[in-house]
Structure 1
Amino acid sequence: MNPSQEPALPHGPDPTADPTAVPGTGSSPSPWAPGADPDGYGLAHPTGLDDPHALPPEAYAEGWEQPRPSRRPWRRTVVVAVVTGLVIFALGGPLGLLWHWLAPSVPVLDAGAGGIVVNDPSPEQYIAADGWYAMLGLGFGLVVAVVAWLVMRKDRGPFLLLGVVLGTFGAGYLMGPWIGGLIGRGSYHHWEQTAVQGATYLAPPQVHSVGPRLVPAFAAAIVLTLLAGWSNDPDLDEPGAKPGQGPNTDFSDA
C-alpha cells in the first residue's frame, strides 16, 4: 500500500501544550470558566473576567447593597419628648380659660349655721361644668395629637407618644382645672367671709370628678396610636419619616 494512502491514525495529546488552554486560542481560560474552579463547582462569571472592561465581583456586591438609614440620637429623642410634654402642659392654661368662659356659674346661698349651700333644688351646674370640661378635653387631646403627628413628623415613635400623653395628662388633670378655677376664686372667698344669712352669689365653676380630667390624655393616646397604626411607614422611629414614602432610606426620594 502506498504510504500516502494509509489511514491517518489519531494523534495523542501534545505533551508541550497547556492542558488548561482554550481550544483555538492558545491561552489559559478564565478562572471562572467551567472546569477551572479549583473547588470543582464549575461556576462561570456572568461577564467573564477576560473582558478588560469588566468590573470585579466586589463592585457588583457593593452596587446592590442598600445603605442603612441612620438612627436618631438618643439625646434628640429625649429632648423632643420632654419639650413636647412641657409645651402641651402649658397649653392647659388656655384650656382652663376657655372652660371657665363656657361653663355656667353655680348659684349659692348663705344658710347661716348651715354654711354655704347651692341655691337650687336640682343643681345642674355641677354636671354642666364637668360635661363642658370633658367635651373640651376631648377636643383638646384630639387636636394636640394631630398637630404633634404632623409637626413632629421626623420624631414620630414611642417617645413622642409618651411626651404627648404625659403633657395632655398634666394639662387636663392639673393645669386646666387650676387655671379655670382660679378665676373669680378670690372674689368668692371674700363674699363667703362677709356675706350675711340669706345672701346669694354666683360661685365660679369647678371640676368635681376625676373622669373629665383624664379625657385629654385618653383622647391623645388613642388618636396618636391610630395615626401610627394607619401609617404605611414601616419604622416610625427613623428620622425623616414621610407618609406614603415607604422605608426611610436614600432611595425613597428617587
Structure 2
Amino acid sequence: MTAPLTPPHQPPPHDSDGWPAPYPPLTESDGVPSAATELRQAAVVAAVSTVAGVGLGLLWLWLAPRVPLISDGKAVFLRHSEGESAIGADGTFVLLALGFGAVAAGLVFLFHRHGGPALVLALAGGGVLGSLLGWGVGTFLGPTHDVVAHAKAVGPSVVFDAPLKLEMWAGAMMAWPIAAMIVHLALTALFGPRDPEPEWPPTPPMSPTGSLPQD
C-alpha cells in the first residue's frame, strides 16, 4: 500500500520549507510612490481639476440653450411657456461635467497608474471645486441676473435672455466627481497593476512504486 499522493499544486505536508516566501514590500523603485510623493501628486490633481472648471464654465456658457424672456412694460414673462430651455441648461452642464470627470480620471490613471486613495480623493475634491468654478464662470459671464433692470433697458416687447442658472444645483455639482471616481475605478480594475502569481516549488520526483520519497 503506497502513501497518499500530495496534490501537485501543494507542497508536501511534512515539508514546511517548501512554501514560497512572502512577497517583499513594494518600494518606490517598483513604481509605487511614497506617501509624500502621492500627496504632492494629489495636490496637483486637485489644483488642475479646479482650474479646468474654467473650461467647463466657458463651454456651458457657449452650449447651454438660452431662456428667452419678454416684457410688456409692467412684468417679465417667459416667451415660451413650456420652459424646456431651462431644463436644457442643467442637462448641458451635467453632460459636460461627466465628460470632464471621465477625461480627468483617464489622465490621472495614465500618468499615475500606481496611485492610491489620495489621488482618488483628489479627483473627487477637484471635481467638486471645478464644478463650482465652472458654475460661477458661466453665471458671471452670462446674462445679468437683474432681470427687471435688463427688461427696462431693452424696452417692452423685446426678447432678451434670462440669466444662466442651475435648477438642480446639488446634483449638477456631483456629476464630475462621480464620473471621475467610476472611470478611475474601472480603469484600475481592467488595466491596473496585478500582484505577481506565487511560484510553487517543483514537485518531488516519485519512486518507481508511485509513492513520494520519504525524508
**TM-score, normalised by the number of residues in structure 2:** 0.69
Provide Cα deviations, 1:100-154, integer angstroms capped at 9, x if missing partner.
111111101225444x332212111011111111111111111111111002235
Give yes or no for the alignment of 1:185 onto 2:143: yes
Q: In structure 2, list runs of 5 or more residues that go unmatched.
A: 1-20, 198-215
Rounded to whole Å, the distance in 2 between the matches of 1:186 and 1:79 is 40
Give per-residue Cα distances to partners, 1:141-185, cap 9 Å, x unaligned: 11111111002235x11111010111111112x111111122233
**Correspondences of 1:1-254 after superposition (within 5 Å):** 68-70=25-27, 72-114=33-75, 116-154=76-114, 156-172=115-131, 174-186=132-144, 191-192=150-151, 194-210=153-169, 211-234=171-194, 246=196
Q: 2:126, 2:111 → 1: CA distance?
A: 16
Whether the 8 Å contact between 2:68 and 2:80 is mirrored in structure 1 is: yes
Structure showing greater Rg:
1
Using a 3 Å threshold, how does the CA distance of structure 1 residues 65 and 143 change in structure 2: closer, same or farther?
closer
Contact preservation (8 Å) 1:106, 1:203: yes
Asked whether the equivalents of residues 73 and 152 of structure 2 are also in contact (C-alpha less than 8 Å), the reply is no
Q: Please report how far the alpha carbon of residue 186 of structure 1 lies from its aligned counterpart in structure 2 after TM superposition.
A: 4.2
* Structure 2: distance between partners of 1:112 and 1:179: 31
Q: Does the 8 A contact of 1:188 with 1:203 survive in 2?
A: no
More helix by share: 2
Note the C-alpha offset of 1:232. Answer: 5.0
Q: Does the Cα contact within 8 Å between 2:142 and 2:164 map onto a contact in 1?
A: no
| Unaligned 5+ runs, structure 1 | 1-63, 236-245, 248-254
CA contact 2:70–2:151 (8 Å) conserved in 1: no
Partner SS, residue 83 of structure 1: helix
Q: Secondary structure at the match of 2:80?
A: coil
Q: Structure 1 runs of 4+ off > 6 angstroms?
A: none
Secondary structure of 2:160's aligned partner:
strand
